[in-house]
């Protein structure tokens, strides 16, 4: 089983340690991981800004880069959902794209569904109160968890995985899956709403006595980390793979 590691462009530049943690978590499961160097960006920022036609070359580059892997795994629900949901317009039922669409996973989803929960072993302790921020694209598009709006049986792949970590305490939030207001270029174009949403999301975590806010999308966490640092809120953000890789706050 050959796995291609897909690292979102901004994470490669700004969060190499989270990328490293992703690599480590997968390696720890004894998996064969490759990191193809020709990857850049999935094109989501342009597409969400109404410029999807500028994304075609990036989509073609992405498919060429990853078409020969059995699985493509990324530490971002959002970038994975871009490839899965919005690339079809560039590929007319293309065999390589169809294969990628069926074999690309957010990293926790991959561990949960492909490696299977019962087979993953995390032998580490994380003795902190943790709030899980369910980033929207992973949560509602990839369905990593049951959205609070729906009347279907509850499940959360991220909670299931975090519950395998020793000594962790997941806190109950008032709004389980409210958006944090990052939204890509929304964070700049609608700055005031974006900031208000981010602060409200952080407050929900603080009110629940969380020491750590975690999630499966670094972009949302980057937005809230920016607010936390600016306002000296007593909470830290950590990507979920950092917890799974044994990183301490």
Subset of residues 21 to 40 that bind other proteins, contact rule: CB under 8 A: 23-24, 27, 35, 37-40
**What is the rounded CA–CA span in Å between residue 215 and residue 157?**
12
Does 117 help bind other proteins (rule: CB under 8 A)? no
Calculate the dihedral angle through the C-alpha atoms of 1, 164, 247, 27, rounding to the nearest 10 degrees.
-10
Does 200 help bind other proteins (rule: CB under 8 A)? yes
In the complex, minimum distance from the CB of residue 117 to other proteins, in angstroms, rounded to a whole number: 25
- Cβ proximity to other proteins: between 131 and 181 the closer is 181
Calculate the dihedral angle through the C-alpha atoms of 74, 193, 179, 245, rounding to the nearest 10 degrees.
40
> Pick from 89, 99, 32: which is nearest to 64 by CA?
99
**What is the rounded CA–CA span in Å between residue 188 and residue 47?**
16
Does 233 help bind other proteins (rule: CB under 8 A)? no
Interacting residues with other proteins between 145 and 164 (CB under 8 A): 147-152
Q: Which of 28, 29, 45, 88 binds other proteins (CB under 8 A)?
A: 45
**What is the rounded CA–CA span in Å between residue 160 and residue 137?**
18
Give the three-state DSSP class for 214: strand
Interacting residues with other proteins between 78 and 107 (CB under 8 A): 86
- Binding span for other proteins by CB under 8 A among 9-17, 97-105, 106-114, 240-248: 9-17
**What is the rounded CA–CA span in Å between residue 59 and residue 71?**
17
Does 222 help bind other proteins (rule: CB under 8 A)? yes
Does 55 help bind other proteins (rule: CB under 8 A)? yes
Q: Which of 133, 137, 157, 205 binds other proteins (CB under 8 A)?
A: 137
- Binding span for other proteins by CB under 8 A among 12-20, 101-109, 110-118, 124-132: 12-20
What residues form DSSP beta bridges with 224? Answer: none
In the complex, minimum distance from the CB of residue 103 to other proteins, in angstroms, rounded to a whole number: 22
Task: Count interface residues toward other proteins (CB under 8 A).
Answer: 75
Q: Are 69 and 3 in contact (CB under 8 A)?
A: yes
């Amino acid at each position: 089983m050959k796995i291609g590691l897909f690292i979102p462009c901004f994470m490669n530049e700004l969060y190499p340690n989270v990328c490293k943690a992703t690599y480590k978590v997968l390696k720890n499961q004894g998996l064969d991981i490759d990191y193809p160097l020709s990857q850049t960006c999935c094109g989501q920022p342009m597409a969400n800004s109404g410029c999807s036609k500028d994304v075609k070359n990036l989509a073609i580059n992405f498919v060429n880069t990853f078409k020969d892997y059995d699985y493509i795994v990324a530490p971002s629900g959002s970038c994975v959902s871009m490839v899965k949901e919005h690339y079809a317009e560039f590929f007319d039922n293309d065999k390589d794209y169809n294969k990628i669409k069926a074999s690309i996973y957010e990293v926790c989803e991959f561990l949960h569904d492909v490696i299977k929960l019962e087979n993953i072993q995390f032998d580490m302790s994380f003795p902190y109160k943790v709030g899980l921020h369910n980033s929207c694209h992973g949560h509602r598009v990839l369905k990593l968890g049951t959205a609070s709006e729906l009347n279907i049986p509850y499940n959360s792949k991220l909670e299931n995985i975090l519950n395998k970590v020793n000594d962790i305490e997941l806190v109950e939030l008032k709004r389980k899956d409210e958006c944090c207001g990052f939204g890509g270029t929304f964070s700049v174009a609608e700055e005031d709403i974006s900031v208000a949403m981010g602060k409200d999301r952080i407050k929900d975590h603080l009110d629940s006595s969380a020491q750590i806010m975690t999630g499966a999308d670094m972009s949302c966490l980057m937005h809230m980390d920016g607010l936390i640092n600016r306002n000296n809120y007593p909470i830290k953000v950590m990507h979920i793979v950092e917890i799974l890789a044994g990183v301490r706050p």
